[in-house]
Structure 1
Amino acid sequence: MRSDLAPWRLGPQLLAGTTLDSPEEVVRHFGAVQSQEHLWAPWAVGMRCGATFEQVLDGLWPRDVVRTHALRTTWHYVHAADLPHVIAATADRVMGQLVSHMRRAGLEEAQLMAASEVVTQVVRENPGCTRTLIAERLRDAGHEEKGDRLAHVVMAAELRGDIGGERRPGQHEYHALDLGPLPSHDDALAWIARTYARGHGPVTAHDLAWWSSLTVRQARHAIELAGLQPVTLAGQELWSLGEPQRVEVPPVLLLANFDEVISHVRDGDVKADAGPGYDTAMFATGLLFLGGRLQGHWKRTVGKDQVDVEVSPDRPLTAAERTLLDEQIERFRAFAA
């Protein structure tokens, strides 16, 4: 996220101003929340609704939120009521990425789909099962899959909307889904553009394309269908859901490594804005933002009796920033305790 756009983007991202009352509401606000890292994704949700780690898990499951591969062939939290729109808009694109990846791994599309149908049946017959049982039943059916190939066979069933799951400490558990009829592709495209703009602030078509796995052309069509309005902010042409509202930018933010803020961070201007520490921060376990600019990284170590946080800023902090950083660290410790 470019720091000069932070005043208009951090409000919709629930990082300044308004927060929500529950983890479920946070997930619905964004449409999909990346949850690749199980110990970090709850922080991205919890800091937006004042919930602790355990409260986030309790607020998602056994609620109607599933953890599934929905966008970019990576894990996301998605509400079951929103999943039909996500699948109708993006599943063909993501499935295409999956099929190409599996073909390179030696599994042709027909084999992939046949194996994924077995996965669906196993999950329907064994609610709450893990990949261990799925792998056993696949082997019994003549599909010897493990590791990356097993994960992607299961993903194919997720992308059809057949199964989804939950993840508490331990293995991921899968459950059958019944999503009913999907919306039309155009309705789903309009929904995903509106939802993305609502949760991420004024956006570009390239932002939406990266986040959703759509092509840029499809993203532009989605923006048109959604009726987003054009705005110019900080010299950039953007699209917005309603009139953008400026907020005060928090001087210090400790964010999860895959926080939803990264949907803008692939912009070349963002890399220039962050400076030479960009690559290091993006591959770290946590993101440090100072005044809306990516300016370092952090990591946490959870022990038996305490949570240690180590922050590596790209520049010296002012006394005021140091005080605010300490407050953020204590907030994270309270979340993780």
Structure 2
Amino acid sequence: MNAFDIAQLRLANHQLTAPRFTHPAEVAAWFGAIQAQDYAQAKWALGIRVPGATEETIEQAFADKSVVRTSLLRGTLHVVAAADIRWLLTLVGPRRIAACATLYKKEALDDATFDLCKDLLINSLQGGNQLTREELSSVFGQAGIEATGFRLSHIIQRAAFSQLLCYGTRRGASPTFTLLDEWIAPSRPLSREEALAELAKRYFTSHGPATLPDFAWWSGLTLKEAKQGLELNKSVLVCETLDGETYWLSPATTAPQPPNPDTQILAGFDEYVLGYRNRSICLPEAYTRQVITVNGIFNPTIVQNGRVLGTWARMHKKDSVVVTKKLFGPVSQATDQEIQTAAERYSHFVRKPLVVAENGFAAQGF
């Protein structure tokens, strides 16, 4: 197996060249968790993996509560299938709370304050209420608790890690928060060993071929915990070696030859680029800073045959979407046409015609 083979297998497992699902919740469950700090980008990360999907498809999945957004792996926002949220939070939540102890102390947030915040959240959100960040800040402020900026973020995130609240529906452009137990029906709990095994299985199935350090980084688990999760799955996984590294994947994986389509425009923070400690398979080191900023923002990417060719950006106007590409270097006319086709798929997703921009794409309706 070489780097090209790994890239083709990853494309297939990421549901980019061999999509097999028809509903966003199926995609979320396949991955276990999908990075989602940017809501619009998260919708496209789901939508590109559901053939024919539009933004309305994804919005409906959030509205019908089959998928949910919350703070999860590595303390960042993710989209998960509703049936998975509790066992995932049970597995990673306590560690994330412990990891934030210094940050809590810096913001003068002690256990007594968190207990009071918990009571205020329950009282203000129970009965199906959904409040914005600003409204929650007001609730805390009226009780004499300063809750703005990072301090408010820590209070909300701690409540999410504690399985108290999650994101609800959006009110215009503003996200809301609601009580998890009122939003999502109870699901069967997993033991810690079962949860470790399940998360490892989903990661290596959806992200494979991948290494143990990749899984440990992505999950936020300790290397010991990640290794335990892998050990529990070795009977259902296979491994390949490249440059002294061992890569694990499901034996059921088959990559289309050649990939179809072989050029995609991916969301910012897309799991295909983000979901590994070592990203050299897809991202040339020389261009890392063009894709990943110094403050950890993952820009949307243009990918061909599993390799990042450049980045892209979109601007929504009233009756159109302007998509602009920034390539790392010259490409063939055929590749340029494939990028155009990929951009047209995005324009279909947002239900707006694509228009010409500098270094952009030709206009086309749908």
User: Residue 117 of structure 2 contacts residue 140 of structure 2 at CA under 8 Å; is this kept in 1?
Assistant: yes
Could you tell me which residue of structure 2 aligns to residue 239 of structure 1?
248
Task: Say which of 57, 60, 63 aligns to 2:62.
Answer: 60
Could you tell me which residue of structure 1 aligns to residue 12 of structure 2?
11
Q: Counterparts of 2:73 and 2:166 in 1: how far apart (Å)?
A: 14
**TM-score, structure 1 normalization:** 0.91
Which residue type is aligned with residue 274 of structure 1?
P
Which residue type is aligned with residue 285 of structure 2?
G
Aligned pairs, number? 335
Could you tell me which residue of structure 2 aligns to residue 193 of structure 1?
200
Match of 1:29, SS? helix
Deviates more, 1:313-322 or 1:245-254: 245-254
Deviations 1:12-65 (A, max 9, x none): 110111331111221121121111111111111011113111221112312332
Match of 1:312, SS? strand
Q: Counterparts of 1:173 and 1:146 in 2: how far apart (Å)?
A: 16
Could you tell me which residue of structure 1 aligns to residue 25 of structure 2?
24
Q: Counterparts of 1:46 and 1:75 in 2: how far apart (Å)?
A: 18
User: Residue 14 of structure 2 contacts residue 207 of structure 2 at CA under 8 Å; is this kept in 1?
Assistant: yes
Task: Say which of 284, 289, 292 aligns to 1:282.
Answer: 292
Could you tell me which residue of structure 1 aligns to residue 175 of structure 2?
172
User: Residue 72 of structure 2 contacts residue 93 of structure 2 at CA under 8 Å; is this kept in 1?
Assistant: yes
Q: Counterparts of 2:122 and 2:238 in 1: how far apart (Å)?
A: 43
Could you tell me which residue of structure 1 aligns to residue 361 of structure 2?
none
Which residue type is aligned with residue 194 of structure 1?
K
Deviations 1:118-140 (A, max 9, x none): 32443225622222332222223
Task: Say which of 224, 249, 254 aligns to 1:217.
Answer: 224
Which residue type is aligned with residue 244 of structure 1?
T
Q: Counterparts of 2:176 and 2:312 in 1: how far apart (Å)?
A: 30
Distance 1:117 1:216, change over 3 A: farther
Q: Counterparts of 1:315 and 1:163 in 2: how far apart (Å)?
A: 46
Q: Counterparts of 2:190 and 2:20 in 1: how far apart (Å)?
A: 30
Distance 1:59 1:45, change over 3 A: same
Deviations 1:209-264 (A, max 9, x none): 12211112211111112345341154531222334323334432210111111344
5+ residue gaps, structure 1, are: none
Could you tell me which residue of structure 1 aligns to residue 331 of structure 2?
317
Q: Counterparts of 1:180 and 1:24 in 2: how far apart (Å)?
A: 15
Aligned alpha-carbon RMSD (Å): 2.2
Distance 1:18 1:251, change over 3 A: closer
Which residue type is aligned with residue 295 of structure 1?
L
Match of 1:40, SS? helix
Distance 1:121 1:188, change over 3 A: farther
**TM-score, structure 2 normalization:** 0.84
Instruction: Measure how far apart 1:265 and its partner are.
Output: 4.4
Q: Counterparts of 1:120 and 1:195 in 2: how far apart (Å)?
A: 33
Which residue type is aligned with residue 216 of structure 1?
L
Which residue type is aligned with residue 257 of structure 1?
G
Deviations 1:154-204 (A, max 9, x none): 111111112112353422122222346742111111111111122212221
Percent of aligned positions with the same letter in both sequences?
27
**Higher relative contact order, structure no. (Cα contacts within 8 Å, ≥ 6 residues apart):** 1
Distance 1:11 1:262, change over 3 A: same
5+ residue gaps, structure 2, are: 352-366
Deviates more, 1:325-334 or 1:290-299: 290-299
Match of 1:239, SS? strand
Instruction: Measure how far apart 1:288 and its partner are.
Output: 1.6
